[in-house]
Chains A and B, each alone.
Chain A
């Protein structure tokens, strides 16, 4: 790895962390303001300002390629891409929460602050280039999420939180054990130093060192929990159902995106010491992809609760993303003339962006509808096409995008991702993935069917305040734009992808 030092006068470390510091300050401000302010809407506005300011700082670092804090954190296009994505997701979630927070009698300020802190943790995950900073940022994210999941304070929500906490703690332990083994083999915690050490010892394959193998496998297990890949998905349905729906949306998109960021950072930097090694962990991801897609999609079919269904669907979506990860491992473009155009990670980045718009859009529509009809059951969505035609249309668009039918972001995301996989020799995996998309059509369209073809129990209109509708409109616009003219975002994903190789 050559760290190009751009002609950027030597920045002090704290400047590199400006986006994170901003977010921290605003989170503290939100908690403090909460003590004095009775109109809680102000807190949402303050949080949004914080996210926007932080986003502007982040965007300022686009194209920079540097490390800060003794190489603990990187500021490169890859990190910036994820930071902006995560901040955008958090912004949409806060917009969508403005009605929903009335369900919480207390602690609204803490709710916003925790979302900001959780986003902060995820941003650090995207930037971490050292096993230690990586683990700390992961824990910051996880702990805030454990609290957020329990925010409804009813039985289901508490149970969900406890389950998430216990299983999450185990996953963290497993991850830490894996890291310890890798550290034991290489004597390094810096991702860049690890790859140097592996090369120096000629540990080019799993066979070369069993401890390294064990370490990598355990790290995959730990990360797979965060991105909810099968067989580490047991927590998903209960947590998704029990958590406040806004947090479910946040979990299903932001937490997953950050998880993929960290996996790509670690595996592409440290564990591609040799082509063989890359192929080996690539195949592990390929196997995870196959079972995640298949089990996610098949178990989603009988679900009657829409949050649970979207939970299983997010497992399947993680499976599609894993196809991209597998392709980064089996990357064959080293000697190719098309070198650089075949980086599979850009497919993952673009898919994550399109998935963010799509899934949040679906969740916001569900939030608006559910809070009106007071139910998460799919059968209660009947007749929405008549009661709220625009909302139903928006949800339909998002579901169609989740299936991957053009002209939506979901289709372009899959096309881009799968074309990377096909060009890295994984056509068999692509075929399994596209067949899985077909299976998924069955349960997504069931929701569409209920909304448009079944009779409505009442003709009462579904209303909502402006903020969630704005967020939903942004999502739908994003879904269509990324589906019809995806060139710009693909270009950005490409540049970001170059930074981690």
Chain B
């Protein structure tokens, strides 16, 4: 590979952050344009890589567009990037939402220089997580995101923002503390930081004093905080609710996907035997997450909080898909991560718009808006229907794959019962989504919203793009699953699924 595409995609947002931070004379408009450029180019490159990605069967399990340089010699750490079928779509998703986050933030007028600098830095860090193939690099990227997030929530957030920000930081750091211990144990056991080698050789090749199950759990806790898995989820509603719209989008869209990605990439593919052994309790946790998350969502009155809680339920499906440990269910979990990214991204964007234009976030006080803001109502409805998994939307494709895959999974006992319980969650989802739509947009028209503005040109632009992607993935999921399969198949083979 002559041109280091991945490095360019990775560092362009960070370079943009620095340019924005030091450009002294730049006014607000220029800053926003700079931010748009520095996120659009990575998106274009990521799209190019997605198209150029080798989809032939021989490419299964192989990493493409690899870059591999020595980084820290005494540690044996390498600057090693690469994408396979699992990370390629997630990279695309991150670049996509990173660009949209800039567009969505066009109405941020408070300290714009710092806002966009932090936002772009965060994008670099998230991209880094998905394309790093060295454990140390992975961890570094994983951690960097904490600082921008802390600033973004505390300065531009709303409500109890200081509390939510520090809660987010502490939860994340607790998780990554355990993860760091896990990585160190892994490093000691294998004397390697190379994620590809460790996955290929398996831990069986190494004898360590530390049992594999202990390392598995240390890593799992780190990812479980991020995903989040019940009972480690309590940071999520606070952070999502109080964050500014663009940050909620990034949080729900890609940041929590780091957890699911880490589980597949590290926990399952490094420790297939341990994963099989503990799959059952983890699936029960997933079910609790699905049902409990949905039940709590049903009683939410704040529009953003409702969407935030729905993420817990949706991430329960991801966890179910992962630890059903079948080829199909894992693919479904990966697709669900992508789908949830765009669907919830759209939901948060619309919620942000409602809050911005209507200045009301309490669902019980909204109502009848479909008459006054028809575009917003239509888009919100589509996003909602995608979230509850209506056929022809991406949500349906993903959930269908997960249920099909887990129902047929051979690895975990009683999985059919668990799958049926999980499907009950879908009914609850329909309940809260329809309730939300009804409360906000239908029912008697309220006079005081008569002068509310509808979505403007820019907002129509990005919401329509998102809807197009949702529909595309819903109608023709193979566009993604063909790629995901290449990354998932070798991992599923380790389990024998």
Contacts and interface: CB of A to CB of B under 8 A. Distances in A.
B140 A427 contact: no
Interface in A397-452: 400, 403, 405-407, 411, 415-416, 418-419, 422-423, 425, 427, 430-431, 434-435, 437-438, 441-442, 445, 448-449, 452
B248 interface: no
Contacts of A438: 170, 173-174, 177
A415 B146 contact: no
Interface string A457-501: 000000000000000000000000000011100110010000000
B164 to A, nearest CB: 13
Contact of A427 (B73, B155, B174, B184): B184
A374 B295 CA distance: 54
A406 B73 contact: no
A442 B170 CA distance: 7
A405 B173 CA distance: 9
A235 to B, nearest CB: 30
B181 A434 contact: yes
Contacts of A485: 71-72
B173 A437 contact: yes
Contact of B191 (A338, A400, A418, A491): A338
A352 to B, nearest CB: 16
B188 interface: yes
Nearest to B155: A453
A486 B72 CA distance: 7
Contact of A422 (B151, B170, B188): B188
B184 A406 contact: no
Contact of A430 (B139, B184, B214): B184
B140 A407 contact: yes
Interface string B70-107: 01111100000000000000000000000000000000
Interface in A262-300: none
B169 A441 contact: yes
A202 B437 CA distance: 81
Contact of A419 (B154, B155, B188): B188
B268 interface: no
Interface string B175-186: 001101100110
A494 B191 CA distance: 17
Residue of A418, A434, A491 ringed by the most chain B CB atoms within 10 A:
A434
B38 interface: no
Interface residues of A, number: 34
A93 B45 CA distance: 48
Contact of B184 (A422, A442, A491): A422
A452 B151 contact: yes
A383 to B, nearest CB: 13
Contacts of B155: 452-453
B355 interface: no
Nearest to B173: A438
A400 B147 contact: yes
Contacts of B170: 438, 441-442
Given A415-B136, A434-B177, A442-B166, A425 B72 contact: no
B154 A430 contact: no
A422 B140 contact: no
B243 to A, nearest CB: 15
B162 A494 contact: no
A445 B214 CA distance: 31
A102 B218 CA distance: 53
Contacts of A486: 72
Nearest to A425: B209
Interface string B136-165: 100110011011001100110000001000
Residue of B71, B184, B218 ringed by the most chain A CB atoms within 10 A:
B184
A411 B143 contact: yes
Contacts of B214: 427
A452 B154 CA distance: 9
A411 B140 contact: yes
Contacts of B209: 425
Nearest to B186: A422
A411 B174 CA distance: 15
B180 A434 contact: yes
A487 B184 contact: no
Interface string A384-406: 00000000000000001001011
Given A441-B169, A449-B162, A431 B178 contact: yes
A491 B173 contact: no
Contacts of A427: 181, 184-185, 210, 214
B73 A453 contact: no
A16 to B, nearest CB: 29
B400 interface: no
B184 A435 contact: no
Contact of B73 (A430, A431, A434, A487): A487
A422 B214 CA distance: 13
A415 B135 CA distance: 12
B65 interface: no
A437 B177 contact: yes
A400 B150 CA distance: 12
Residue of B155, B166, B180, B210 ringed by the most chain A CB atoms within 10 A:
B180
A431 B144 CA distance: 20
B53 interface: no
Contacts of B75: 415-416, 419, 490
A40 B184 CA distance: 51
Nearest to B21: A393
Contacts of B188: 419, 422-423
A434 B175 CA distance: 10
A434 B144 CA distance: 16
A411 B72 CA distance: 14
A494 B174 CA distance: 30
A415 B180 contact: yes
Contacts of B74: 487, 490-491, 494
Contacts of A487: 71-74
B50 interface: no
A369 B296 CA distance: 47
Contact of A445 (B144, B166, B187, B191): B166
Given A416-B75, A427-B210, A434-B178, A406 B144 contact: yes
Contact of B146 (A405, A435, A491): A405
A415 B73 CA distance: 14
Interface in B108-147: 136, 139-140, 143-144, 146-147
Contacts of B187: 419, 422-423
A207 to B, nearest CB: 25
A431 B169 contact: no
A80 to B, nearest CB: 18
Given A415-B180, A422-B188, A407 B144 contact: yes
Nearest to A438: B173
Interface string A114-141: 0000000000000000000000000000
Nearest to B142: A406
Given A405-B147, A453-B154, A491 B177 contact: no
A449 B180 CA distance: 26
Contacts of B147: 400, 405
B72 A490 contact: yes
30 contacts: A338-B191, A403-B173, A406-B143, A407-B140, A407-B144, A415-B136, A415-B139, A418-B180, A419-B184, A419-B187, A422-B185, A427-B184, A427-B210, A430-B184, A431-B177, A431-B178, A434-B177, A434-B178, A434-B180, A435-B177, A441-B169, A441-B173, A445-B166, A445-B169, A449-B162, A449-B166, A452-B155, A453-B154, A487-B74, A491-B73
List the 4 closest A-B pairs by CB distance, nearest first: A434-B177, A490-B74, A406-B140, A422-B184
Given A415-B184, A438-B174, 10 more contacts: A405-B146, A406-B140, A430-B181, A438-B173, A438-B177, A441-B173, A442-B166, A445-B150, A485-B72, A491-B73
